[in-house]
Amino acid sequence: MPHARPVIVAANWKMNTLPADAGALAAAIERQTREPSVVRVICPPYLCLEAVGRALDGTGVAVGAQNVHHETAGAYTGEISARMLAGLASWSIVGHSERRRDQAETDAQIGRKLVRCVEAGLRPILCVGEQLEDREAGRAEETVRRQLEGCLAVARPDGGVTTDLVIAYEPVWAIGTGRTARGTDAAAMADAIRAACADFGVEWADDIPILYGGSVTSAAIGEFLAEPAIDGALVGGASLKVDEMAGIVARAALTAAARREAAAVS
């Protein structure tokens, strides 16, 4: 049931902030988003993980990485393995649309990243989503299903898909393009994602939290969180603004409260 799933707001700072200012930003966001019913995660650049971790120590806000490598170690100059993040992060984004685009990450590699996250005790946020040409051609759900199956084919046999899995739906066609996705678009895709996971043999597919990740703002997030199939947001540029994060988390808290009330009635 929707009310059984946690409501999650994850901040992806991308290639922004420096160690000198990241801790102060994280602390300011934490002070303005104290909603115990919402799971809060901040994913700064690698170099800022320690500073952010210090700033958030004991606050209940989790720290996440933006990526991990699909191998445990080796001759991969400039890369970071999941086990290197021990003590610095407890979550990690994998398969973000920008890495699929810029680093040509494949679904098989992303599946292996899921395995590495589980081995290292990191809770993964798996990103999936379609390009504009896929949506216009009516292939949106087919594309996302193919991405999921490509990841799960690698991760599932090796135990990379556990009950900790979180999935973020990124409508790539609506990110920085001026086009707008609707809450109904995201809800339909969330249903398709859970169905695809169930078809692949994931017994707890209905319990997988699904986040919306398409140019999230405090003004727009309400439409998405009003959908029972959506369980939070993966926030990009807006996550660097304290007021924006405060608004997003406040709206997420309303969703969490409504789900608690629904659970009590049922």
pLDDT tens, position by position, 5-27: 999 999 999 999 999 999 999 99
Residue 158: what pLDDT? 79
Q: Is residue 166 part of a domain?
A: yes
Residue 116: what pLDDT? 97
Residue 1: what pLDDT? 46
3-state helix vs strand vs coil in the chain, percent to 5: 50, 15, 40
Q: Give the distance from CA 50 to its chain's centroid.
A: 21
Flag whether pLDDT at 194 surpasses 90.
yes
Q: Is residue 161 part of a domain?
A: yes
Asked if residue 94 lies in contact with residue 126, where contact means CB atoms within 8 angstroms, the answer is: yes
Please tell me what DSSP assigns to residue 72. S
Q: Report how far residue 197's alpha carbon sits from residue 155's, in angstroms, rounded to the nearest whole number.
A: 12
Q: Is 77 exposed, middle or buried (0-12, 13-18, 19+ CB in 10 A)?
A: exposed
Q: Report how far residue 251's alpha carbon sits from residue 266's, in angstroms, rounded to the nearest whole number.
A: 23
- 150-179: average pLDDT: 89
Q: Is residue 156 part of a domain?
A: yes
Count of CB atoms situated within 10 Å of the CB of 240: 17
Asked if residue 73 lies in contact with residue 63, where contact means CB atoms within 8 angstroms, the answer is: no
Residue 160: what pLDDT? 78
Q: Is residue 205 part of a domain?
A: yes
Residue 178: what pLDDT? 72
Flag whether pLDDT at 29 surpasses 80.
yes
Q: Count how many domains the chain has.
A: 1
Q: Is residue 58 part of a domain?
A: no
208-263 pLDDT per residue, tens: 999 999 889 999 999 999 999 999 999 999 999 999 999 999 999 999 999 999 88
**Six-digit token string for 238:** 């807006």
Q: Is residue 52 part of a domain?
A: no
41-64 pLDDT per residue, tens: 999 999 999 999 999 999 999 999
Flag whether pLDDT at 266 surpasses 80.
no
> What percent of the chain clears pLDDT 70, i.e. is strictly above it?
99
Residues 6+ apart with CB under 8 A from 63: 41, 42, 43, 44, 49, 52, 53, 56, 88, 89, 90, 91
Provide the total of helices (H) and of strands (E) in the chain, helices listed first.
9, 8
CATH number, position 216? 3.20.20.70
* Band of pLDDT at residue 180, cut at 50, 70 and 90: confident
Q: Is residue 190 part of a domain?
A: yes
Catalytic residue numbers read 96, 170
Instruction: Find the angle CA(226)-CA(145)-CA(67) to the nearest 5 degrees.
Output: 80
Flag whether pLDDT at 264 surpasses 90.
no
Q: Is residue 153 part of a domain?
A: yes
Residues 6+ apart with CB under 8 A from 84: none
Residue 3: what pLDDT? 47
65-108 pLDDT per residue, tens: 999 999 999 999 999 999 999 999 999 999 999 999 999 999 99
Range of the domain at 11: 1-15+79-87+104-242+253-266
Beta strands in the chain (DSSP E): 7-12, 38-43, 62-65, 91-94, 123-128, 166-169, 210-212, 232-235
